[in-house]
């Protein structure tokens, strides 16, 4: 039996995943209209010990099942959040420039 999560009705413009994933047993299909309206940004470090270019395809497929329009963004780093990468993203998408 899959996990059921109650999604909040508030919308967000962007959904950020930092070398993370969505558990495979979550029922995603019922929430495609919610996730489909959100720009998903998926950050993966080029030296991340848990994720690689080989593995990114399966994660992108899972996100696609949820109806997410994902922009994959590789960065120089590992599994940790890099302030400068996040600041560059915020400048581009939140501060318009």
Higher pLDDT, 95 or 75: 75
Average pLDDT over residues 22-39: 75
Condensed to tens digits (0 to 9), the pLDDT of residues 51-94 reads: 877 777 777 787 787 788 888 889 999 989 899 999 999 999 88
Sorted by where each begins, the domain ranges of the chain are 14-93
pLDDT of residue 33 exceeding 50: yes
* DSSP output for the chain: --B--PPPS---SEEEEES----TTB--GGGHHHHHTSEEEEEEETT-SS--HHHHHHHHHHHHHTT-EEEEEEESS-SSPPHHHHHHHHHHHTS--
């Amino acid at each position: 039996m899959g996990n059921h999560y109650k999604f909040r009705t508030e919308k967000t413009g962007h959904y950020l995943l930092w070398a993370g994933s969505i558990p495979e047993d979550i029922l995603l299909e019922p929430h495609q209209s919610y996730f489909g309206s959100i720009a998903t940004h998926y950050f993966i470090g080029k030296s991340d010990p848990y994720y690689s270019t080989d593995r990114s395809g399966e994660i992108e497929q899972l996100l696609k099942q949820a109806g997410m329009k994902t922009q994959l963004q590789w960065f120089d780093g590992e599994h940790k959040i890099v302030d400068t990468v996040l600041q560059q993203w915020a400048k581009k998408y939140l501060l318009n420039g």
